[in-house]
Structure 1
């Protein structure tokens, strides 16, 4: 089992939480964190639990199940068992009228259950506070992401091409790719920053399947197994000569992710027009990379790049048809698609320690989704890729 998250890490994360809350919510008195990824970030364990953080007092992780596992997992200093939220509430000297919670994560039913024992009048969201803290990665976190990036590069640039063979289905490719990823050290799932979003890896498609509509906030598409399981890939769509293979997947190591897209051309070539579009997407990524410096403003990067593109190119850029995303890249860490985002409205300057996945892509009728994606650490000299640098359209066969 992986070594526990260092106690110094947990202490620093909580210190930054208090500081950010004092800055953005100066009247706060009590915060409660309940979502599993945020619990892991602050305590080093994922259990059925709540983290109760009083402004004037010690934070306590109250665990319903499993307390013994939480103690085994974590260096968090205060881990206590509970039968119900009543135990956590009774341990507080007083309960304020306003409690700060993750409004984007908590269900109404859970909020009502909390209120039975924490008789607050109103709630205030702290999702933006936690997102900001998580966006700046420590050296410990960056080292884990670098390990994920090393696995990711090897899988997609060195090993995945050998999996492709004529007549295999998208589902075959997905399952065999997953086996290779696990062998190389992938932690087994990919977490997205949205509700009910844990997948095996991401989008793996042949041809126009990669522009088929999907619920994911992603430029690429995916027909999937069926309406009930719009993931992985179709059993019916088989690989044939001349196909574009689109592979947009996450890879994780001990909780932390990288994001990377590779495209392959199987036993043939694409039309010159499609190659030119792909190369322009690569040029766009190359233009963003030097801008990823501390102090840069994500919304200004987005505007600078999009304003430089011709109207004709913007058609089907970052998607296909009416299904287009409004960003050029996104933060990444414990989840794929974290803040900040290279998009309008993200006006707070970039900090050293942030990590972005950049993914300029464009859908082409009859071909599929071309473009590229890699994950970059912010440095004083611009972005540094931790997932390789192959531009894509790798010939196979």
Structure 2
């Protein structure tokens, strides 16, 4: 990490928030931010609190726990106030909020009622898309963190993993050992997702056909997990044997910022011609899609152009298995693993320089497993700059 997060950068983010809010909702008066990751984006600290931004650009962060830590960590400590209850915030910023933007995707009815009991709130507008638009374009500080994550991510999956795979180990053992290696490489220990109620420990890890197993996770791959109550981490009962594909799809995070990468391995044997060919087709799709990640290109058009060139026989089990297919080729990456925009239908705003995407073309093979890859790219005028090592064939172990 070379760049540091400065108060000047945070001020620029707040100004851009106000500008985009005015563009979308000209009559807005107040912004309320409840989500901790979004609070971190604008303050540089992550506490139990509420962030309030007024139309004139004034930002006020009311921290319940820990106010002291927030003052220590944030580059804009002069904007931080102690709070025990919402009425403490009202005493500082006033009760009249007027037309208010709020994260309606995470604000519960109970929270809204509490806010409305302390503040005079007029019309309520959704804030999620505005925040997504602002966060999509990364600053030099953010790109520095993501590049560092990508560098360590490449080392993990291409250099470390082959050395820990061994016959007879369970998926859980691999997950545990992989997690230890990730922490020692500087991973922050948690991967964050914006999708509602999405849980993930380190990612999707599966041997053989377990990578085709149905999951509630919105991704092409599968994972059996520990149990119906915890469909995560891997299976205790599935042991690695010679001839198995090993599917590893994990995020890596430094200073809050993620990279996303998938690597497939063949343990104790060579892939069949079908497996090798299918994997390489996915890699070629990834390369072609990456070449289109340029400012001005439209995500939906990229998606349509790629998908329309694929043969119907290849589309079977592409981006999933059976009828469990996802409708995207890639997604934004940043403070969350799954950010907007998405390389999919319906995303019609042009790409901009310094957006970051993970591309993950994958295909399920019956009785074998999931093949394909995933890497993280930064949007440049020359196409996607890969920061996680690039497209690779199946690694033989």
- Cα shift at 1:196: 3.8
Q: Identify the residue that residue 6 of structure 1 maps to in structure 2.
A: 6
Q: Which runs of 5+ in 1 are unaligned?
A: none
Q: Distance in 2 between matches of 1:180 and 1:13?
A: 34
- Cα shift at 1:89: 2.1
Q: Is the 8 A contact 2:250 2:261 kept in 1?
A: yes
- Cα shift at 1:337: 1.0
Q: Identify the residue that residue 267 of structure 2 maps to in structure 1.
A: 266
Q: Identify the residue that residue 333 of structure 1 maps to in structure 2.
A: 334
Name which of structure 1's ranges 386-395 and 240-249 shifts more when overlaid on structure 2: 386-395
- Cα shift at 1:5: 2.8
Q: Distance in 1 between matches of 2:148 and 2:138?
A: 14
- Cα shift at 1:122: 3.6
SS of 2:338's partner is strand
Q: 1:321-343, CA deviations, whole angstroms, 9 ceiling, x for partnerless residues?
A: 11110000000000011011000
- Cα shift at 1:121: 4.2
- Cα shift at 1:141: 0.3
- Cα shift at 1:75: 1.2
TM-score by length of 1: 0.97
Q: Identify the residue that residue 69 of structure 1 maps to in structure 2.
A: 69
Confirm whether residue 44 of structure 1 aligns to residue 40 of structure 2: no
Q: Identify the residue that residue 217 of structure 2 maps to in structure 1.
A: 216
Q: 1:144-181, CA deviations, whole angstroms, 9 ceiling, x for partnerless residues?
A: 00000011000000010111000000000000001111
Q: Identify the residue that residue 231 of structure 2 maps to in structure 1.
A: 230
- Cα shift at 1:119: 3.0
Name which of structure 1's ranges 269-278 and 203-212 shifts more when overlaid on structure 2: 269-278
Q: Identify the residue that residue 353 of structure 1 maps to in structure 2.
A: 354
* CA shift in 2, pair 1:17/1:200, >3 Å: same
Q: Distance in 2 between matches of 1:57 and 1:377?
A: 30
Q: Distance in 2 between matches of 1:97 and 1:135?
A: 28
Q: Distance in 2 between matches of 1:46 and 1:142?
A: 20
Q: Identify the residue that residue 201 of structure 2 maps to in structure 1.
A: 200
- Cα shift at 1:4: 6.8
Q: Distance in 2 between matches of 1:180 and 1:188?
A: 11
Q: Is the 8 A contact 1:189 1:198 kept in 2?
A: no
- Cα shift at 1:257: 0.2
- Cα shift at 1:97: 4.1
Q: Identify the residue that residue 79 of structure 1 maps to in structure 2.
A: 80
- Cα shift at 1:118: 1.3
Q: Is the 8 A contact 1:147 1:253 kept in 2?
A: yes
Q: Distance in 2 between matches of 1:48 and 1:55?
A: 24
- Cα shift at 1:390: 4.6
Q: Is the 8 A contact 1:157 1:390 kept in 2?
A: no
Q: Distance in 2 between matches of 1:187 and 1:165?
A: 26
Confirm whether residue 367 of structure 1 aligns to residue 386 of structure 2: no
Q: Identify the residue that residue 54 of structure 1 maps to in structure 2.
A: 54
Q: Is the 8 A contact 1:204 1:233 kept in 2?
A: yes
Q: Identify the residue that residue 393 of structure 1 maps to in structure 2.
A: 394
Equivalent runs, 1:29-40 vs 2, <5 Å:
29-40=29-40
Q: Distance in 1 between matches of 2:346 and 2:331?
A: 13
Q: Distance in 2 between matches of 1:248 and 1:140?
A: 26
Q: Identify the residue that residue 302 of structure 1 maps to in structure 2.
A: 303
Name which of structure 1's ranges 296-305 and 119-128 shifts more when overlaid on structure 2: 119-128
* CA shift in 2, pair 1:18/1:392, >3 Å: same
Q: Is the 8 A contact 2:319 2:327 kept in 1?
A: yes
SS of 2:247's partner is strand
Q: Identify the residue that residue 135 of structure 1 maps to in structure 2.
A: 136
Q: Distance in 2 between matches of 1:5 and 1:43?
A: 10
Q: Identify the residue that residue 182 of structure 1 maps to in structure 2.
A: 183
Q: Distance in 1 between matches of 2:109 and 2:122?
A: 14
TM-score by length of 2: 0.97
- Cα shift at 1:388: 0.2
Number of equivalenced pairs: 396
CA-atom RMSD, angstroms? 1.5
- Cα shift at 1:65: 1.2
- Cα shift at 1:392: 3.5
